[in-house]
Structure 1
């Protein structure tokens, strides 16, 4: 392409919009626009059941829906702080074998009495950075912030009826001071809530600090939509542990593998994960989480953070195998955002998780589901079923 063409304004027609963009007329105009520009007829995309007036705040330039198949896995017995009982898990995916594999793991966990789940903590962050002339000024500022925590908290919390500022981590680098604000956010994931609250706190700081101060609202250590080691250590979203003791005899009968072999395979996986620099030394947490997130209206991009995990196993003297996975940054919501849309709400309701008061329960269900998938795939690899199952259930090509 010549420089002249590269620098010229695009002559391509703009996507049509109307003052009220969520009407049948506005949507039909864009659907026709797609056909006029691409000659693609939207035979499937246009067939949705969502009331158009429910879409504001969730989507722009709406033209239709992406229909992802939803399968039902379970039952999964959970003995948690917040999730207790038998649950059926809706999973949205186009990967054959996934629902069947997770159901197998859920069957085993349920037969041994259930998976134990614990939410250790749950925070959402925004992390501004303040700029100074030298490192000493940055240190003095950090001391002032600690001394004025009550007023900073009041300024932040004045913007929200739900969010509460728990604590502020501080990191000094060069002549900068990074502040990582940690909030509890009720049943919302809370990224926008925390952004608004932190902006108000920074503005208060700027008005009241004795010297002129400059800040950038995000210094990048809040790590939106990307994994980071700081999340593994300090938690972003819910930090959840799912654990179970796998009886040697049951594992042999149902999954046709020995717990000692499973333990040995875990050591190999640990080495491989270390060698690769993986953020999860388990097998496929992202599979179960993504399927749950898509089904229930979560922000799918949060999988980048939520899939991080630490698997720990211990072979007991009697041959039983203790297996746990810690997910340090499960970012979920049961209220607000996409959770209120029709099918997404129904999927949350299947697990009795829609609405206020259910976020920690849903976080435990997510962790228990991941553990079921880990056990099933680990056994399939050892038993030689992995490739055969995909051949049998996962191939829909001619």
Structure 2
């Protein structure tokens, strides 16, 4: 094997199964997690067990989907920038045709703009079928930018990427407008399951969520985010399914909600920037093909359906890990004891192999 084709090996395990219902999938399935943080496997596994003990399982609702790319054009002055933005709005049907001429799967669904001085920032939003859509959106944006420069007077090229997308950066705009799949997951856990399986109460988890995830994140200056560790589950899932792992930067922005409902626990995770695809770069690797097939995301469906299924599986995985960690942190010493036991055990096994 040459250095150019070497593959970095990350330990991977399948955990679950998770029970999922909702507007995309009704399924019980195990999920793959590639990670060096070995306690993540049993932690997500515990959450998965809870999902099978809850009446409806994890209810995953796909709220929205769009991939974005922003471009920058320079106008003569702010007035020209404004008139250009208004003309672009009036020519939406033409712009949509430009996109369709360069891609079978990309479809322009919105254009938003921001003007600063004489600079016009344009945020193009697309649906991209089963692909996560980075390259597809950039290609479409490049064609749109060329078309605008050719047909509209008073503007010139600024950049094909203007940081108003926003790609792989934690920003407010993605949380507000969305980038990728917006998925809400909900789980209602009976009080006896909370007591016997999570060794805590709904009231304790709800209180910790307010104090840690909401107030703690506020004090830390978090951006459109209030959760314990979405990034852990997303990274493990992304690496196992051939995703662009850098997208956990915006992907891990999300909000955890926990409520005590007469002793039962209502637990929800909202992820507005879940960027996944079942086709595209990285998906042809043998282990990725195997994992996507096992997840049921290589089935012949309508364009976009496999990616939607993958998104809700990822979001449900996040909920499992988030619930397990929050429960553990209501009990003094539980989190650290688990890490010491599991990580040291893994180190010993590795040193003897």
Q: Secondary structure at the match of 1:181?
A: strand
Q: Which has the larger radius of gyration?
A: 1
Match of 1:160 in 2: 103
Q: Does 1:142 align with 2:85?
A: yes
Q: Secondary structure at the match of 2:87?
A: helix
Match of 1:334 in 2: 278
Match of 1:47 in 2: none
CA contact (8 A) 1:339 1:354 kept: no
Name the CA distance, whole Å, in 1 between partners of 2:36 and 2:143: 43
Q: Does 1:388 align with 2:334?
A: no
- Residues 211 and 397 (structure 1), Cα distance of their counterparts in 2 relative to 1, 3 Å cut: closer
Q: Secondary structure at the match of 1:340?
A: coil
- Aligned 1:219-368 pairs, distance under 5 A: 219-269=162-212, 270-279=214-223, 280-316=225-261, 318-354=262-298, 357-368=305-316
Shift of 1:78: 0.1
Deviations 1:118-146 (A, max 9, x none): 11111111111221122111111111111
Q: Secondary structure at the match of 1:358?
A: helix
Of 60, 83, 93, 2:25 maps to 83
Match of 2:41 in 1: 99
Shift of 1:177: 1.5
Deviations 1:148-183 (A, max 9, x none): 111111112211000000010111222122110000
Shift of 1:212: 4.9
Q: How many residues align?
A: 339
Q: Which aligned segments of 4 or more residues in structure 1 are displaced greater than 3 angstroms?
A: 210-215
TM-score, normalized by length of structure 2?
0.92
CA contact (8 A) 2:73 2:155 kept: no
Q: Secondary structure at the match of 1:142?
A: helix
Q: Does 1:66 align with 2:5?
A: no
Q: Does 1:181 align with 2:124?
A: yes
- Residues 232 and 212 (structure 1), Cα distance of their counterparts in 2 relative to 1, 3 Å cut: closer
CA contact (8 A) 1:83 1:362 kept: no
Query: In proportion to residue count, which structure has more strand?
Result: 2
Match of 1:370 in 2: 318
Match of 1:209 in 2: 152
CA contact (8 A) 1:90 1:350 kept: no
- Residues 390 and 136 (structure 1), Cα distance of their counterparts in 2 relative to 1, 3 Å cut: same
Worse-superposed segment, 353-362 or 190-199: 353-362
Shift of 1:397: 4.2
Deviations 1:205-236 (A, max 9, x none): 11111445333211111122222110000110
CA contact (8 A) 2:76 2:155 kept: no
Shift of 1:391: 1.4
CA contact (8 A) 1:240 1:330 kept: yes
- Residues 217 and 397 (structure 1), Cα distance of their counterparts in 2 relative to 1, 3 Å cut: same
Q: Secondary structure at the match of 1:213?
A: strand
Name the CA distance, whole Å, in 1 between partners of 2:177 and 2:78: 25
CA contact (8 A) 1:79 1:117 kept: yes
CA contact (8 A) 2:251 2:275 kept: yes
TM-score, normalized by length of structure 1?
0.82
- Answer 1 or 2: higher relative contact order, Cα 8 Å, separation at least 6: 2
Q: Specify every segment of 5 or more residues in structure 2 that has no aligned partner in the other structure, as ranges.
A: 349-353
Name the CA distance, whole Å, in 1 between partners of 2:155 and 2:227: 48
Deviations 1:167-203 (A, max 9, x none): 1011122212211000000000111111111111111
